[in-house]
Amino acid sequence: MEYAIETVRRGTLAIGIKSKDGVILAVEEKARKLQISNVTQKIFQVDDHIGVAAAGYIPDARTQVDHARFFAQSNRLIYDEPVDVEGVAKNIADMAQQFTQYAGVRPFGVALILAGVDKNGSALFLTDPSGTYIGYDAVAIGAGSDQVTEFLEKSYKADISLDEGAALAIESIYLVSEEKTGTRHLKMAIIDNKTKTMRKVEDEEIERYASMARDRTSKRGT
């Protein structure tokens, strides 16, 4: 279990922020020079209204996401309604916990941030290799997450707008990233309260949020 948690700590940063208008997922992805950068490796879609950001061993994340997708689709078929975000978080956590108690298997070396909008409103949950799941207003996982969590505790406000939340997420990544400018290493997805649908944020929009983040940083420095 200690190795699994350490794998998460060494993963690149992932952030989830809940705003009054929806939920934001943002990650840092360090692409190689010749790598196609428009394919997101760390953000996944579980259902129309639920997204996931991962830190740690990404192949393990894909396994958990596939499991969550099956659970979400089964819920639609059986109950004819979208699954609750907390229900998916609990299901993933239950799966992770089983891999901590049997011989011959290893714990999943990944933590997931689940974000979505359901009948209860916007929701944000963290699952970890131990099988724990906890709800948050804002959360960070991966390398530098302790520093980012401290920053979010000081900067986050419950009435934050979607744009401000996206800018705060990017400002948080810049705080611990080796790259303090540019957006090639940033990926983002948003689920807003109106459409209840996850969408990938395009590069031009990320650049706008990054500009807002740099302005916020410069104001704090003055």
Residue pLDDT, tens place only, 66-108: 999 999 999 999 999 999 999 999 999 999 999 988 878 899 9
pLDDT for 221 equals 67
Neighbours of 208 (CB within 10 A): 15
Could you give the CA distance from residue 8 to residue 202 in angstroms, rounded to a whole number?
A: 27
Q: Which domain holds residue 157?
A: 2-221
pLDDT for 186 equals 94
Give me the residue label for tokens 């109106």. 194
Could you give the CA distance from residue 205 to residue 64 in angstroms, rounded to a whole number?
A: 29
* Class of residue 124 by CB neighbours under 10 A (exposed 0-12, middle 13-18, buried 19+): buried
What is the CATH number for 33?
A: 3.60.20.10
Give me the residue label for tokens 């192949």. 59
Residue 40 pLDDT grade (very low, low, confident, very high; cuts 50, 70, 90): confident
Q: If DSSP codes are grouped into helix, strand and coil, which group holds residue 221?
A: helix
Q: How many domains does the chain have?
A: 1
